[in-house]
Amino acid sequence: MLTKSGEPIEVAHIYPYWMRSEHSPVNRSAPSFWNILRQFWSKQRVDAWYNAIFPAGTEVCHNLMCLCPNAHKYWEKAHFALKPIGLSDDMKRLDIQFFWLAKGNNPSEVCILQRPPLPVHLNQGPNVTKLYNVQEDKAICSGDQISLETDDPIAHPLPNLRLLEMQWFLNRVAAMSGAAEPQDDFGNDSDDDLPMATQERWDLYMEDE
């Protein structure tokens, strides 16, 4: 999707699989992720994000993207974010904008009204991570616009605009916090290990919060 490269390609979730339950599967008294969001964004906006996930779940086309392996890892670690620009009237074209999320030494105190910096033309992310558009043979930079297209928006829908909006906000928050992102790697988990693996990731999420 970003680098225009061929195999190997990995499927990345916009809203992570491990958070497919609204509450912790073991400790249901833990704060709801969605209620936490409603403390910072309007109920109308958060409800729109929620309805884009439930009841359909995470394993639907509009919550999935195809990324090369290194871009997938950078996505998990919030090294970059995708800003939704707009969806065409026929839902066959979605324009997004790419931004690297620089992670520096954060001060102990920050004004709550201060906007996080979002430099344009930045050609690399944290730890000198880079991505290249192989068709144009050039580095992908902050501010680059990318167009996603489909010939059948019903059978092969583009990424959901609401879910992209949610990650646009939350990936920037994750980059500012410097918190580690739990790995979205359930592909190797057996069914018996799934509840424990989910709880471990939920616990890590709560520790980050």
pLDDT digits (tens, 9 = 90+) for 173-199: 887 765 544 444 444 443 444 344 434
β-strand partners of 70: none
Instruction: Find the range with the poorest average confidence among 17-21, 36-40, 194-198.
Output: 194-198
Whether 25 shows a pLDDT value over 70: the answer reads no
In whole angstroms, what is the distance from residue 82 CA to residue 177 CA?
Answer: 18
Mean per-residue pLDDT, 115-129: 81
pLDDT the model gives residue 72: 94
205 confidence band (pLDDT: 50, 70, 90): very low
Q: ∠25-181-116 over CA atoms, to 5°?
A: 125
Q: How many CB atoms lie within 10 A of CB 62?
A: 19
User: Residues of the chain with pLDDT > 70: what percent?
Assistant: 73
Q: ∠88-47-91 over CA atoms, to 5°?
A: 10
Q: Which residues contact 120 (CB under 8 A, 6 or more apart)?
A: 99, 141, 142, 143
Would you call 125 exposed, middle or buried from its count of C-beta atoms within 10 A (0-12, 13-18, 19+)?
Answer: buried
CA 15 from chain centre, in angstroms, equals: 6
Whether 166 shows a pLDDT value over 90: the answer reads yes
- Going from the C-alpha of 182 to that of each of 15, 64, 141, the distances in angstroms are 12, 18, 26
Whether 81 shows a pLDDT value over 90: the answer reads yes
In whole angstroms, what is the distance from residue 102 CA to residue 77 CA?
Answer: 12
pLDDT the model gives residue 28: 64
In whole angstroms, what is the distance from residue 176 CA to residue 172 CA?
Answer: 6
pLDDT the model gives residue 177: 67
The structure's pTM equals 0.76
Q: Round the average pLDDT of the chain to a whole number and report it.
A: 80
